[in-house]
Amino acid sequence: MAWAEQPRDPSRHLLVWRGEGHAPDGSRLLTAVPLTEAGHTLAEAVANARSVDAAIESEADPLVEVPYDTLSLSRQQASAIATMFRDFALRVLPGTTVGPLVTDDSLSELAERCAGRMRQRTMQYAFADPRVAADPARHFVTLARYVSTGDGRQVAVPVELDAPVADWRSSVAAGRVHEPNVTYAYPDVLSLSLARTRIIAELLHEYAARMRPGVAVGAVGSSGELSRFLEELATDLQTRDT
């Protein structure tokens, strides 16, 4: 017998997980996972993950060097970030609408913690969100670009959702040379270029801002490029062999 599926409400549920349960008539049901439950589950998985340092020390291979100009990330951490990015990707598909979020801060705080660690590794300054009138249906709420006015001043303006994607893809591609194969020696460790790390940190910070309780987003106006890029990053984090 086929499983029925409980509809997902983006204001209440994670858009990429399913649980198992039963409908009132006893039939099998794939349930939607509440955002609060997902946030706590992912946070616990990250907290209980084996540290990268422990993995490298216990499986030390003198012939394999983890490069200093990369970020070493555990597979558990990578999987949690990939899950958040797949959820993010579905939330910025063209036309998607999200009502006020019914959740706690667990998912937002986890994304911010992951972003903070990456920011420290790349020596970025603490995120300072721009004071611009950004519409989350069309713009990033944590990014801005600066343009010159006729009187010589610089003013911040919102960044459209798809605008940075081409540059981000180029940076990720250029950084691949700095992501050597270390997983055959350290199976639980991924090595990310600093370029990829900076981009992931920026996107996690944006996701954190969008996943706070009560946040609502109107019908998304984009070409879908940001959604596709988030899926590309998620796939790399979950399936990469190098």
**What pLDDT was estimated at residue 165?**
97
Three-state DSSP state, 239: helix
DSSP type of residue 216 = -
Location of structure tokens 């979950």: 238
Q: Does residue 16 sit within a domain?
A: no
**What pLDDT was estimated at residue 62?**
44
Q: How would you label 27-63 residue by residue, b for 16+ Cβ within 10 Å and e otherwise? A: eebebbbbbbbbbebbbeebeebeebeebbeeeeeee
**Residues spanned by the domain of 81:** 35-239
Lowest-confidence region among 146-150, 197-201, 214-218: 146-150
Residue 184 confidence class, pLDDT cut points 50, 70, 90 = low
**What pLDDT was estimated at residue 64?**
46
Q: Does residue 116 sit within a domain?
A: yes
Number of domains in the chain: 1
Q: Does residue 15 sit within a domain?
A: no
The whole-number average pLDDT for the span 67-96 is 89
**What pLDDT was estimated at residue 182?**
60
CA 104 to CA 175: how far, in whole Å?
A: 36
**What pLDDT was estimated at residue 63?**
43
**What pLDDT was estimated at residue 181?**
63
Q: Does residue 139 sit within a domain?
A: yes
Q: Which two tokens stand for residue 13?
A: 């549920």
**What pLDDT was estimated at residue 148?**
81
**What pLDDT was estimated at residue 213?**
97
Q: Is the pLDDT of residue 56 over 50?
A: no
**What pLDDT was estimated at residue 109?**
96
**What pLDDT was estimated at residue 132?**
82
**What pLDDT was estimated at residue 52?**
54
Q: Does residue 212 sit within a domain?
A: yes
Between 164 and 31, the higher pLDDT residue: 164
